[in-house]
Homo-oligomer: A and B are copies of this chain.
Amino acid sequence: VATSFKEHDAAYFHSYSHVGIHEEMIKDRIRTEAYRDAIFSHADSIRDKVVVDVGCGTGILSIFCAYVGARKVYAVDASDIAVQAKEVVKANGLSDIITVMHGRVEEVQIDEEVDVIVSEWMGYMLLYESMLASVICARDRWLKRGGIMLPSHATLYMAPITNPDRYSESIDFWRSVYGIDMSAMLPLAKQCSFEEPCIESITAENVLSWPIVVKHIDCSRVTIRELETVSADFMISSMMMASLHGFALWFDVAFGTPIIDAQSESSMESTIVKDFGCNGINHRRHGNSSNQIILSTAPEEPPTHWAQTILYIYEPIEVTQDQIISGSISLSQSRENPRFLNIHLEYASGDRYFVKESVMR
């Protein structure tokens, strides 16, 4: 007896292309466990409270919040993954606590103030395709005075790097291809390999100096306006003799004490610094008194799905130890497409000065 059916029913699934993204994010243990530990360590502030999860995806962060006793979690996602999140919540018997809302944070209705906003909103290079604007919107619409933002702070860093292996593999390769001189390919190869920012994992060995802070964000206070253009000047001393091949950008986020109206909520301070220590990974904590959980995407930390974002330059610059590399970086929302990020990099070292414009699409 044969059974028969058609496996192909694409019309039913609008969003299947998203599953791979969610799989990648959830499988990024550094990311997911940092959030889990942060939520668990803030259990005293979440228990019996109201939470909004901005861009909930499969609902995993909302479920962590329910596990530590949230009274109510509004899990909001504009993409069709919300349909799955609702099923996941139901299968885990949490439909009474977690309300999945399929829509944009800017448009859905929540008829109460909330105590906590949790969101994994960070994009490549922190700001590329980030959901921070939606988090800000949620904060301004619903967060109580003294409410908690998870994460509470985010910092974007930049440092000059050397990456001879990568340069050689994509560029020098053309100098002799099976004995054939293909140097004619070099200008195009450089354009192709290095015009746009590259998402790649490097290690501490590639980094030529301590990073500069391009932008520090206090999630409780940041405005959409101040994110339109983010810029920083830099003057860096190379720690070694090397070929400067470009600049790496990365970020970290901290799950710390709420800064907003902290003075009026001082009792909170003592409750959120605990760490349940429920996982095998010891998240780096700031050396300061707050002892907070940090999710870092730095080259010296274990790699994450964000890797680092590298702005390669077209001609390596040979720098000596202590040689100064100076310049400026500016990231601004494209007018052509608000999703795009325009990157304006100026850099100088020795007697050489360059400008590199690129667009992260």
Contact = CB atoms under 8 A, between A and B. Distances in A.
Contact of A91 (B26, B183, B189): B183
Interface of A: 1-10, 13, 15-20, 22-23, 26-27, 32, 36, 58, 60, 63, 84, 87-88, 90-92, 170, 173, 177-178, 180-185, 188-189, 191-193, 195, 313-314, 348, 351-358
A258 to B, nearest CB: 26
B355 A91 contact: no
A178 B280 CA distance: 13
A204 to B, nearest CB: 27
Given A173-B23, A183-B91, A2 B351 contact: yes
Given A8-B358, A19-B185, A88-B185, 17 more contacts: A2-B348, A4-B354, A6-B355, A8-B195, A15-B188, A19-B189, A19-B191, A19-B192, A20-B193, A23-B170, A23-B189, A32-B178, A58-B177, A60-B177, A60-B180, A84-B184, A90-B184
A182 B13 contact: no
A40 to B, nearest CB: 11
B88 A16 contact: no
A314 B9 CA distance: 12
A84 B185 contact: yes
Number of copies: 2
Given A60-B180, A180-B63, A183-B91, A353 B2 contact: yes
A192 B21 CA distance: 11
B191 A36 contact: no
Contacts of A354: 4-5, 7
29 contacts: A1-B351, A2-B348, A3-B351, A5-B355, A6-B357, A7-B313, A7-B354, A10-B195, A13-B191, A15-B188, A16-B191, A16-B192, A16-B195, A17-B192, A22-B185, A23-B173, A23-B189, A26-B177, A27-B173, A58-B185, A60-B178, A63-B180, A84-B184, A88-B180, A88-B184, A90-B184, A91-B181, A91-B183, A92-B181
B4 A188 contact: no
Contacts of A353: 2-4
A314 B355 CA distance: 51
Interface centre among A17, A58, A185 (most CB of B within 10 A): A185
B348 A19 contact: no
A357 B23 contact: no
A341 to B, nearest CB: 15
Contacts of A6: 355, 357
Interface centre among A58, A60, A182 (most CB of B within 10 A): A182
Contact of A19 (B17, B63, B193): B193
A178 to B, nearest CB: 7
A249 B277 CA distance: 48
Given A16-B188, A185-B19, A355 B88 contact: no
Contacts of A88: 180-182, 184-185
Given A32-B178, A60-B177, A7 B355 contact: yes
Nearest to A2: B353
A343 B220 CA distance: 52
A192 B8 contact: no
